[in-house]
Amino acid sequence: MPPVLRRTSDGRHIIDDLGRPLLETGPIGKSVECDRCGGRTAISICTNCHSLLPEEMTGGGVSIGIVGARNSGKTVWLTMLEQQLLTRLPGRFHSAIDHPGGTVGLAGQLVENRNRMEEHSALPEQTQSTGGQKKTPSVYRWKYINGGARVISIYDTAGEDVANLQSAINQQHLRSSNAIVLVLDPFMFPENRRTAQTKGISDLGPENAHADVIDGLVTVLRQSEQGRGTSGKQGKISTPLAVVVTKMDAFWQGLDEHSPLRSHGQDESYFDDIDSRTMHDHLLSLIDRWGGSTLINKLQTEFATFRLFGVSALGNEPDYSHARLASTLSPSRVADPLLWVLQNEGFLPKPPKSTER
């Protein structure tokens, strides 16, 4: 690989890893001249992974870290989020969304997962621990027809890599994320574990799996924010946290037919924050009934900003005992957590005045 290029601290020159000057000052994406050979180049690469940097990176990217315990439904949710990003959201938001570097790394795996689900009705395998090795995130380029663009980087993390404190500390991508998505399995809550057994779910894991992941995540984020001096109010973590409760289709029948938790949401060209807050409040009450008040108290104690989301990546319950789909895919609300993050970043269109309160 060629030398990695970096700017000097004063921004006046570009140097290589040994501190040798290489290029004249120039903005990312603009042609610059090599100090040695006199040639010009406008190719910018990431100083960490050497991937090509899209032009939209000059406006700043959005990095999102995904964490969840084993069997939380994280992989299935990410797979259907990929599908929604490339097929449904472009029409909804009048935009073009693609992979600027091609379907490599996580993006390639998500494509394989979707093909496996659609062609063979088989659920994808669990996310494996990296063993400390770096993984390539799934990168999306979102460009509006009327102007404006952003690069979105989504990094998947195996539950084992966060639940263990030592390995959690090594998850550097979580430290630099603009937001975190925490994925929860509803069957892990005390009042739902017996129900899980009746549905053929045998590998639930320990009851403290959610707590271990949250503890590891809190440790990483606190160390990062204390080092940067960016802690939120009352010493809480300032990084926004989207909490995704998956497999909601398993509980729809037990809810009132008019419950917001059974609603599939709207396809408006903006994020409906009123609807999202209503969903959040109803999930707070439901998780309390499921015996999860301790978890909610932990989130309220540690995070300055968090939002609960109830999603169904499949739209119907699968055959849990054989890890196979029981019907066609009809995902519900899988994009809501991402849209909440993008709204907080000021990237989504604002709702009409008549819908604001």
pLDDT band at 52 (very low <50, low <70, confident <90, very high): low
pLDDT averaged over every residue in the chain:
83
Q: What single letter denotes the amino acid at residue 182? A: L
User: What's residue 85's pLDDT?
Assistant: 96
pLDDT band at 104 (very low <50, low <70, confident <90, very high): confident
The Cα-based distances of 295 to 207, 243, 321 in angstroms read 12, 11, 28
User: What's residue 13's pLDDT?
Assistant: 63
Q: Sheet holding 138-144: strands in order across?
A: 95-98, 138-144, 149-156, 62-68, 179-184, 241-245, 306-310
Of residues 15 and 39, more confidence is placed in 39
Give 46's contacts (C-beta < 8 A, 6+ positions apart).
52, 53
pLDDT band at 106 (very low <50, low <70, confident <90, very high): confident
Residues 18-30: pLDDT tens digits? 565 554 445 555 6
**Cα–Cα distance measured from residue 250 to residue 334, given in angstroms and rounded to the nearest whole number:** 15
With CA atoms as reference, report the closest residue to 30 among 5, 57, 55, 2: 55
With CA atoms as reference, report the closest residue to 118 among 76, 154, 158: 76
User: What's residue 69's pLDDT?
Assistant: 86
Of residues 96 and 208, more confidence is placed in 96
3-state secondary structure of 144: strand
The average pLDDT across 202-215 equals 83
Give 106's contacts (C-beta < 8 A, 6+ positions apart).
78, 135, 136, 137, 138, 154, 155, 156
How would DSSP label each residue in 104-117? Answer: -THHHHHHHHHHHH
Of the candidate ranges 47-51, 194-198, 250-254, the one whose mean pLDDT is the lowest: 47-51
